DNA sequence: ACTGTGTATGTAACGGGTTACACAATAATA
DNA sequence: TATTATTGTGTAACCCGTTACATACACAGT
C-alpha cells in the first residue's frame, strides 16, 4: 500500500516550514542552497508528488485543456487530436478529448463541466457555438478547422481556394459534367468548399444546380444520395466530394453501379486522411496539413494561456493536391 | 463578464450557513423544507455551480476516469472510446482519453499524472503493464481488450475461439494453403489468435511455419511483409489477418501483385471495425462486439468505484463472423 | 552607529467546498 | 413531567497546496 506524502510531511522530514518546501518546489523566492538540497532529498525519500488538485484550487488553473470535436469516429479528428495531444503533453498539460456530436447542448455541457474543473483553455471544432457563447465563458479558446467569428482565434485551412483547385483539377483532366457532394449547410467549411466549386464551374459555364447534392459529411448518406444522382445523371464524369469520407461513399456508389473509377468517373476528396490510401482505387484528395494544424492550434492556445504575446490570432493553411488512382489512369493500381 | 458565485455567497443570500447549503446540495442530513426552497432559489438566482476542484480536494475523488489506449489513430480504439464515453458521461463522469503508443513509460506517466488529479479509476488497453504496476497504484482499474492478469478485472473477447473459427471458415471455403499475418508477440490477444490459427491448421496437417509472418498490427508493415510472402509462396489461397488493419494491408499487397480477391486469394480479418466496409472488396472479419465491450468495461469500472457489488470481474465476449466480399465470390460486389 | 538592501525562513490566511460536532428546539415515549 | 429521539442549523476544522506578510540576519553605504 502506497502512502501519499503531503507537503507537511516533507517539511517535517526536512526540518523546515511548508513555505520553504513550496518555494523549492516552484523555484520561487529565496532558498538557501543547503536547505534546498535537504528538501529535495526529503522529497525523494518520501516519494512526494505535489497534489495537483490542491494546487488547482488555489491557482484556479489545472494544467488541463479541453478539446471538443464532433465525432472521434471520423478519422480526421483522431489525427487532429493526436497532434494537439503531442504538443500539450510535451508542455505538461493533460488533454481532455470530448465528442460533441455537433450538438450545441453537448458542447455547452462540456464547456461548463470542464470550466468547473478549472480547465485552462479549449480547442473546439464547432459549427454551433457562436461568438457570444464563447465570450460568455471568458476562457482562452481557439477554434480549429472551423472558424467561429473573425475576432476569435482560429486555425483552419483555405477551404475556398482548395475547392477551386480541386474543381479546376477535374477540369484539366477533361471532366465536363462535374458534380459536387457537399457537406452540411451549417458547417462553414462545407459552405466555403461549395462556393469554391460553384465559382469555378460557373466561370466555365458548367454549373448545374442538379449536380450539387448534400452528403452530410458521412459515408452512408453519401452512398445513398450519390447512387441516386449517378442514376439520374449518368453523364457525370467527375465528382468533387466535400470531404474524404464522402469521397469514399462516392467510390462505393460508383462501384455498385458498375462504373469504373477513374476511367468512367473521376473522384477527388478533401481533407487528406489516411483512409484515402486504404481504398481501391486510392483516392485523390486536397490534403490539409492536419498534424500541423493541430499542433499550431495547441501552441496558439498555450501561448494564450501563458500570456505570451500572440502574434497571429488567425492561422490559415494552404491545402495541397495529392494525386492518386481515383483521378489518374496512369497511376499504378 | 460572468462572476462565479461561491457557497458562501449563496449562504449569505439565503440567510443560512454554508453547512446548510452544502446539505441541500448533497441531499444529506436534515434540512427544513422551507429552508431548502430558500437555498434552492438563491442557488438559482446566483447561478451557483459548486466548485468541482474544491470538492475533489476534500473527497479525494474527481468524477473523472482515465482511458488509456495504444493509439487513437487505429479506428478500433475510437469505437471503443466512444462506447466508454457514452456510459461515463451518462453517469456524470468526465473521460480523459490518453494515447500510450504501447509504451510502458508513457502509460506510467499517465497513471501518475491522473492519479494526482484524483481520477476515480482507469480503463486500460495495455500489453506492457503488469499486475504489480497496477496494484502499486491501488486504484480501481479495468483492463480492456487485453487482459493483464487473472486477478485483475478485464473485458475482452474470445480471441482463441474466434481465430479458430476464422481459420476453419477459410478451410470450409476450400483454402488449403492458409497463411496467418500475426500481431506483435508481446500482445496477448495476438498470441491467442496465433494459437487458434495453428491449432486448427496443425489439426488438419496444413500448418507451415513459413506461412506465418508478423504484420505488427499495422497496415504499412503488413503490405511489405505480405508482398514478400505472396511472392515467395504464390500457392497461398487464403489469409487470416490478426486484425482488420492488417487485413487491409493484405488486400493492398494482393492488389499490387495483381491477385484477385476472393477468386485467387481469400482474406479474413479480426475486430469488426467500420473500415472493413470502405475497401473494395469489402473485408470479411471476425467481429468483436466493440461497442458492447466498451460499455461493459465502463459499467464494470463505475460499479467498482461506487463499491456496488461486482459480480463478474471478468467478461469474455464471443466474436462473430461477418461475411463480406473478400471471401465469397457470390457476395454482390 | 544607522539605514537600506538582499537573503532566508516561518506564520497564517486563503482557495471553496464537506462534515464532525455542538447546540437548540420540538416531538415522542415512559 | 421527565427523558429521550428526532429534526434543524451553525461553528470550525479539514483537504493540501500557495503566497502575502512578518521577522531576522548579513553586509554595504554613509
Q: What is the pLDDT of residues B145-158, one digit of tens each?
A: 999 999 899 999 99
**pLDDT, position A330:** 73
Residues A166 and A254 in one domain: yes
- Is the CB of residue A95 less than 8 Å from the CB of residue A89? yes
pLDDT bucket at B236, cuts 50 / 70 / 90: very high
> In a 10 Å sphere around its CB, with 0-12 CB exposed, 13-18 middle and 19+ buried, how is residue B61 labelled?
middle
Residue B252 CA and nucleotide D23 C1' are separated, in Å, by 76
CA B195 to chain A, closest CA, distance in angstroms equals: 28
Closest Cα in chain A to B2: A136
**pLDDT, position A311:** 63
B140 domain residue, yes or no: yes
A31 domain residue, yes or no: yes
Q: How many residues in chain B?
A: 333
Residue B30 CA and nucleotide D6 C1' are separated, in Å, by 10
Residue A17 CA and nucleotide D24 C1' are separated, in Å, by 16
Closest Cα in chain A to B118: A53
pLDDT bucket at B195, cuts 50 / 70 / 90: very high
From A61-70, A170-179, B135-144, the region with the lowest mean pLDDT: B135-144
Domain that holds residue A94: 62-157+290-317
- Is the CB of residue B266 less than 8 Å from the CB of residue B283? no
Q: From CA B77, how far away is CA B69, in angstroms rounded?
A: 7
**pLDDT, position A31:** 94
Mean pLDDT value of segment B102-107 = 95
Residues B153 and B206 in one domain: no
Residue A103 has pLDDT above 70, yes or no: yes
Q: From CA B194, how far away is CA B321, in angstroms rounded?
A: 17
pTM for this predicted structure: 0.94
The span from the first CA to the last CA of chain A, in angstroms, equals 59
Query: Residues of A with CB below 8 A from B118's CB?
Result: 52-53
Residues B188 and B233 in one domain: yes
B333 domain residue, yes or no: no
Residue A275: name the closest of A306, A248, A255 by CA: A248
A56 domain residue, yes or no: no
Say whether A56 and B52 touch across the interface (CB within 8 A): no
Mean pLDDT, all residues of chain A: 94
Q: From CA B127, how far away is CA B190, in angstroms rounded?
A: 10
Say whether A279 and B280 touch across the interface (CB within 8 A): yes
Measured between CB atoms, does B311 come within 8 Å of chain A?
no
Residue A12 has pLDDT above 90, yes or no: yes
Q: From CA A79, how far away is CA A18, in angstroms rounded?
A: 44
Q: Which of residues 154-213 of A touch B (CB under 8 A)?
A: none
B324 domain residue, yes or no: no
Higher pLDDT, A221 or B306: A221
Q: From CA B128, how far away is CA B136, in angstroms rounded?
A: 15
Grid look-up 494537439 returns A84
Q: From CA A176, how far away is CA A162, in angstroms rounded?
A: 19
Query: What percentage of chain A exceeds 90 in pLDDT?
Result: 92
Query: What percentage of chain A exceeds 70 in pLDDT?
Result: 97
Higher pLDDT, B56 or B332: B56
- Is the CB of residue A274 less than 8 Å from the CB of residue A79? yes
Domain boundary among B288, B304, B327: B288
pLDDT bucket at B248, cuts 50 / 70 / 90: very high
Mean pLDDT value of segment A229-233 = 96
**pLDDT, position A332:** 57
Residues A40 and A80 in one domain: no
A213 domain residue, yes or no: yes
Residues A78 and A142 in one domain: yes
B322 SS3 class:
strand
Residue B265: name the closest of B234, B225, B229 by CA: B234
**pLDDT, position B56:** 96
Mean pLDDT, all residues of chain B: 94
Say whether A2 and B136 touch across the interface (CB within 8 A): yes
E strands, A90-195, in order: 94-99, 121-124, 141-144, 154-157, 178-182
Mean pLDDT value of segment B205-224 = 96
Task: Tell me the CA distances in angstroms from B299 to B76, B77, B309, one per residue in order.
Answer: 19, 18, 12
Residues B213 and B200 in one domain: yes
Number of structural domains in chain A? 3
Condensed to tens digits (0 to 9), the pLDDT of residues A303-333 reads: 999 876 666 689 999 999 999 999 987 765 5
Q: What is the DSSP track for B159-174?
A: HHHHHHHHHHHHHHTT
**pLDDT, position B3:** 75
From A309-318, B135-144, B238-247, the region with the lowest mean pLDDT: A309-318
CATH code of A101's domain: 3.40.50.2300
Beta partners for residue A269, in sequence order: A285
Amino acid at each position: 500500500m502506497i502512502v501519499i506524502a503531503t507537503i507537511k510531511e516533507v517539511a517535517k522530514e526536512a526540518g523546515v516550514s511548508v513555505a520553504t518546501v513550496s518555494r523549492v518546489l516552484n523555484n520561487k523566492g529565496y532558498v538557501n542552497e543547503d536547505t534546498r538540497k535537504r528538501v529535495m532529498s526529503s522529497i525523494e525519500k518520501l516519494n512526494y508528488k505535489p497534489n495537483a488538485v490542491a494546487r488547482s484550487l488555489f491557482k484556479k488553473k489545472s494544467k488541463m485543456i479541453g478539446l471538443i470535436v464532433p465525432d472521434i469516429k471520423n478519422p480526421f479528428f483522431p489525427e487532429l487530436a493526436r497532434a494537439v495531444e503531442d504538443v500539450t503533453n510535451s508542455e505538461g498539460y493533460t488533454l481532455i478529448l470530448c465528442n460533441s456530436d455537433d450538438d450545441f447542448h453537448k458542447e455547452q455541457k462540456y464547456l461548463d463541466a470542464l470550466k468547473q474543473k478549472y480547465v485552462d483553455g479549449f480547442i473546439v471544432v464547432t459549427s454551433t457555438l457562436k461568438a457570444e457563447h464563447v465570450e460568455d465563458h471568458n476562457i482562452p479558446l481557439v477554434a480549429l478547422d472551423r472558424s467561429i467569428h473573425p475576432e476569435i482565434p482560429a486555425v483552419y485551412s483555405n477551404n475556398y481556394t482548395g475547392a477551386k483547385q480541386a474543381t479546376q483539377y477535374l477540369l484539366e483532366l477533361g471532366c465536363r459534367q462535374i458534380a459536387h457532394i457537399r457537406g452540411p449547410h451549417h458547417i462553414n467549411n462545407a459552405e466555403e468548399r461549395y462556393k469554391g466549386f460553384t465559382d469555378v464551374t460557373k466561370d466555365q459555364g458548367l454549373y448545374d444546380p442538379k449536380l450539387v447534392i448534400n452528403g452530410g459529411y458521412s459515408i452512408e448518406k453519401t452512398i445513398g444520395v450519390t447512387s441516386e444522382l449517378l442514376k439520374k445523371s449518368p453523364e457525370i464524369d467527375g465528382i468533387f466530394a466535400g470531404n474524404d469520407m464522402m469521397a469514399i461513399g462516392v467510390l462505393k456508389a460508383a462501384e455498385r453501379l458498375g462504373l469504373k473509377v477513374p476511367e468512367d468517373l473521376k473522384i477527388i476528396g478533401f481533407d487528406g486522411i489516411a483512409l484515402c490510401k486504404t481504398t481501391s482505387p486510392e483516392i485523390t484528395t486536397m490534403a490539409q496539413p492536419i498534424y500541423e494544424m493541430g499542433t499550431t492550434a495547441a501552441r496558439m492556445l498555450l501561448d494564450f494561456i501563458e500570456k505570451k504575446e500572440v502574434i497571429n490570432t488567425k492561422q490559415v493553411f494552404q491545402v495541397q493536391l495529392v494525386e492518386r488512382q481515383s483521378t489518374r489512369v496512369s497511376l499504378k493500381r
